[in-house]
Amino acid sequence: MKDLLAAAAFTLLAAAVFVLTVPFPPGAEGSLSPASYPRLLAASLALLTGLLIVEGRRRKAISAAERTDVAAAVGVVGLTAVYLVAWHRWRFDVPTVLYVAALSRLSGPGRWGSALLFAALVTAFLSVAFGYVLRVPLDGI
Amino acid sequence: MSPLDGFLAAFSPSLLPYLLLGVALGMFFGIVPGLTATMGVALLTPLAFRFPPAQGLAIILGVYIAAMFGGDITAILINMPGTPASIAVTFDGYAMMKQGRAGLALGINALASAGGSLFGLITLALVAIPLANFALRFGPPEYFALALFGLSMMVSVSGMSVVKGLLVGLLGMLLATVGFDPIVGYPRFAFGKPELLSGLSFIPIMIGIFGVAEVLDQVLQRRTLVAGLSAVTGVLGRLMPKRAEVRQVAPAFFLSSAIGTVVGAIPGAGGDIASILSWDQAKRISKRPEEFGKGSLEGLVAAQTANNSIVGGALATTLALGVPGDTVTAVLIGILLIWGLKPGPLFFRDHLPLFYEIVGICIAATIISGLLSVVRARGIVRWIVGLNRGRLWAIVLASCAVGTYALNNSAHDVWLMLIAGVLGVALRRQGFPPGPLVLGLILGPIAESNLRRSLAMSAGDWGILVGEPIAATLLGASVVALGLAAWQRSRQDKER
């Protein structure tokens, strides 16, 4: 089932490449067009997808009774996305302190004060290293 | 000044402060996720100009060499290669970290990296010109074959399934087609977005696939991580290998040193290909191949030795031919030209003492980096494993975001990193190895442009790819490597 989902995704990608390359211009005689190489890769993807399904049937199923914390992982991705928007729209320091403090509390209960102090130190280091030493403009990206 | 005087000048006390500055900054660029040796060399170029060539080169070469050491440290401790050259170091280095042998992995990192680097530099001093002449024989068919060879090596060494490795490698090559076509400049898959016209930068994707995905994977399995970290905390273990272990890894060391030096001399082929190739070859000659990928000392030594020994080969090609061996030496050529030093065959005639001084500077930087990484390794590992998980994740993710942004001052790159991180964790959970994706991204443009140039040279005759002996050998070796790997996996499946 796992491999079937991946196979479906790769097949869709290969099909999309063929569709998207239709308007590409033809190449000169004796040379490849801009579409040829991506199509070659897409055809190889489609071929290997078939092999993936065959291989998945031959391989013995391995039980994967592993506990995973999907909500926490989705939370980290969401938090990172919100942080990037805040950094992009506003400034670097305050969103970074809040982001680092929130992430550092992910591992369990703790004091917000200690998390904020740690976050302020990390943010100060990043600001000095990137903003001051390397002269990277961190605000208003 | 004689060549010997030039060599000894590199060890004079007047150069030491510049070397120390370069090495310290190089360690910083190697260790902090998102920073690379190329970025460090590029950013420090304005500083290096202010000094005479020897002092300026001490800073630049110090950064170059120390960043290699530093990149391996993060690959071992947090499964995040500082550069693509350190990808193969994660295979066994991170496994050793999880087994509570982080100290030994870091000690070996210092010794193997220093040894590999010294081997490459001594070879550079002895055979620079003949080696560079061989690399000069590479044309488009050979480069195309080399790109496929590099990818096939990566696929054959990563994961349980060759098919899955190939699929991910092809996905990387397909992602590399985004942006302007390399031959006629036609925009492909850009969807009208200007940011996509120059293509997908592989460094944000690499940081996402290895850095962000690693954190997300650890968040997903928070119970496993707790066990892993508590096992390591306070149990750093010994730093230095025992005599029997040194004897065990010696064949892998010498083989990888030779492979790294030769691969480094091939323009465009860097430590990524060298370390993967060496890891695979070391596995083939090992008496304990089953340990590779699970914390093998030989695997770790092979990967680290090769990615450091490329420095000698890359400098040989750069100085003898004026062709950069990798991205860092491309920047180095620009610096040398500004000093009025033109790299090429005449460099050895006109500036022979400086050539030996460069070799000496690299050797001195290697020794200092090796000592520093041993001395600092204990502190780094204790600091990292002593942090609680949330704080470690926070540091890694924030460094990834800021480091990625700093590459091009681009918010687009940071979003790309996050998307790559999500893709990376999805691939891992489905059993797809992430390494071939990044290598496909790096090698994709080399493969496409050289395939199309080859076909243009032969008026569309595909026979040109197997008509040249070097290209035919590389393509044959790729097929053999993939076939062997598929056969081995099939045998392992049956045994289960």
**In this predicted model, what pLDDT tens digit does every residue of A5-19 receive, in sequence order?**
889 999 999 999 999
Question: Distance between CA atoms of A26 and B38, rounded to whole angstroms?
Answer: 37
Provide, as residue numbers in chain A, all residues whose Cβ is less than 8 Å from the Cβ of B436.
none
Measured in angstroms, the CA of A118 and the nearest CA of chain B are apart by: 8
Nearest chain A Cα to B166, which residue? A48
Instruction: Find where tokens 């990608």 sit.
Output: A13
**The pLDDT of residue B348:** 73
Closest CA to B337 of B149, B25, B56, B27: B56
Question: Distance between CA atoms of B440 and B433, rounded to whole angstroms?
Answer: 12
Provide, as residue numbers in chain A, all residues whose Cβ is less than 8 Å from the Cβ of B161.
52, 55
Per the structure block, which two tokens stand in for B371? 């000592």
User: For residue B432, what are the CA distances in angstroms to A6, B148, B155, B397, B411?
Assistant: 10, 19, 10, 23, 28
Question: Cβ A134–B389 below 8 Å, yes or no?
Answer: no
Per the structure block, which two tokens stand in for B195? 């940011």
**The pLDDT of residue B482:** 83
The CA-CA-CA angle for residues B397, B401, B407, to 5°, reads 140
Q: B188 near A24, Cβ under 8 Å? A: yes
Show which of residues 62-121 on chain A sit within 8 Å of chain B, judged by CB atoms: 66-70, 72-73, 76-77, 80-81, 83-84, 87-88, 96, 99-101, 103-108, 110, 118-119
Cβ-Cβ contacts under 8 Å between A and B: the total is 176
Show which of residues 52-71 on chain A sit within 8 Å of chain B, judged by CB atoms: 52, 55, 58-60, 66-70
Per the structure block, which two tokens stand in for B310? 């490329």
Question: Cβ A73–B398 below 8 Å, yes or no?
Answer: no
Low-confidence residues in chain B, pLDDT < 50? 223-234
In the 8-state DSSP scheme, what is residue B290?
A: G
Per the structure block, which two tokens stand in for B398? 């924030």
Strand B179-180 relative to strand B187-188, pairing: antiparallel
The CA-CA-CA angle for residues B235, B238, B241, to 5°, reads 145
Question: Distance between CA atoms of B254 and B196, rounded to whole angstroms?
Answer: 43
Best residue in A104, A111, A118, A123 for a mutation probing chain B (most B CBs within 10 Å): A104
Question: Distance between CA atoms of B88 and B419, rounded to whole angstroms?
Answer: 23
Measured in angstroms, the CA of B441 and the nearest CA of chain A are apart by: 13
Give the pLDDT mean for A17-28. 89
Neighbours of B133 (CB within 10 A): 16
Q: Is the pTM of this model over 0.90?
A: no
Per the structure block, which two tokens stand in for B229? 């970290």
Best residue in A103, A123, A141 for a mutation probing chain B (most B CBs within 10 Å): A103
Which residue among A42, A60, A68 sits closest to B220, beta carbon to beta carbon?
A: A68
Question: Distance between CA atoms of A124 and A132, rounded to whole angstroms?
Answer: 10
ipTM of the complex: 0.90
Q: A49 near B479, Cβ under 8 Å? A: no
Neighbours of B17 (CB within 10 A): 12
Q: B258 near B116, Cβ under 8 Å? A: no
Question: Cβ B493–A58 below 8 Å, yes or no?
Answer: yes
Give the pLDDT mean for A100-106. 85
**The pLDDT of residue A59:** 64
Provide, as residue numbers in chain A, all residues whose Cβ is less than 8 Å from the Cβ of B212.
80
Helix, strand, or coil here: B350?
Answer: helix
Question: Distance between CA atoms of B53 and B355, rounded to whole angstroms?
Answer: 11
% of chain B surpassing 70 pLDDT: 84
Q: B191 near B55, Cβ under 8 Å? A: no
User: For residue B103, what are the CA distances in angstroms to B157, B243, B367?
Assistant: 25, 16, 19
Question: Cβ A31–B452 below 8 Å, yes or no?
Answer: yes
Which residue among A27, A32, A84 sits closest to B415, beta carbon to beta carbon?
A: A84
State whether residue A5 sits within 8 Å of chain B by CB: yes
**The pLDDT of residue B422:** 93
